[in-house]
Amino acid sequence: MKRNILIIFLFAIFLLSTSDFVFAQKKQLPNFKLKNIQGKVVSSQQFKGKVLLINFWATWCGPCKREIPDLVKLKENYSKNGFEIVSIAVSSGNLKDIGKFAKRMKINYPVLMGDQKVGRAFGGVSLLPTSFIIDRKGQIQQVLVGAKPYKVFEQKIKQLLE
């Protein structure tokens, strides 16, 4: 009985720890080139020197949809300070479908078409949404798995913009 409780306890700690973690060793932002919803190629190099939030999401993902208005607000409030958001849509149809969705949701930041390769380059994206917060030097500072409220994003972004 005690052994089962210990196993459940350890499993719970594992689940909680994977929901929001910081790399022990800072990982560099992977290089990528992806098409945006206008069909133009966007490179990760275009965001050098900015505090960056990269958000992996899907049009069919309920928590992703709930998170979008907060991301729009973050972009409005912090872009003048050197902050940028880049969203990478995965398993969401074609560029035209994603573009219609982005327009309907009033997304004000770049929306790129992702694939498994770019997810692997980030170390794997197993749940949506997953966000990577990157400092001005291009180092991934935090990974947030699952939808997070505005204040969680804002706290880390403000810290990196100082």
Instruction: Give the strand pairing for 111-113 and 33-35.
Output: unpaired
Indicate if the pLDDT at residue 23 is higher than 70: no
Give the Å distances, CA to CA, from 1 to 8, 12, 13: 11, 17, 19
Average pLDDT, rounded, for the chain? 87
- Pick the range with the lowest mean pLDDT from 4-8, 25-29, 146-150, 154-158: 4-8
Residue 22 has pLDDT above 50, yes or no: no
- Please give the structure tokens belonging to residue 39: 């069909």
Express each pLDDT in 84-134 by its tens digit. 999 999 988 899 999 999 999 999 999 999 988 999 999 999 999 999 999
Domains of the chain: 20-161 (3.40.30.10)
Contacts of 67 (CB under 8 A, 6+ apart): 55, 57, 129, 147, 148
Task: Name the band, by pLDDT with cuts 50, 70 and 90, for residue 142.
Answer: very high
Q: Is 57 a catalytic site residue?
A: no
pLDDT of residue 78: 97
Q: What is the pLDDT of residue 26?
A: 63
Q: Find the catalytic residue in 29, 37, 51, 64.
A: 64
Using pLDDT thresholds of 50, 70 and 90, give the confidence band for residue 14. very low
Task: Indicate left, alpha or beta for 145 from its phi (over 0: left) and psi (-120 to 50: alpha).
Answer: beta
Rounded CA separation 134/39 (Å): 25
**123 or 21, greater pLDDT:** 123
- Residue pLDDT, tens place only, 49-60: 999 999 999 999
Known catalytic residue at 61: yes
Q: Which of 42, 51, 61, 90 is an active site residue?
A: 61
Average pLDDT of the residues in 136-154: 96
Task: Tell me: pLDDT of 15 over 80.
Answer: no
Q: Are strands 130-134 and 139-145 parallel, antiparallel or unpaired?
A: antiparallel
Q: What is the pLDDT of residue 116?
A: 84
pLDDT on residue 1: 57
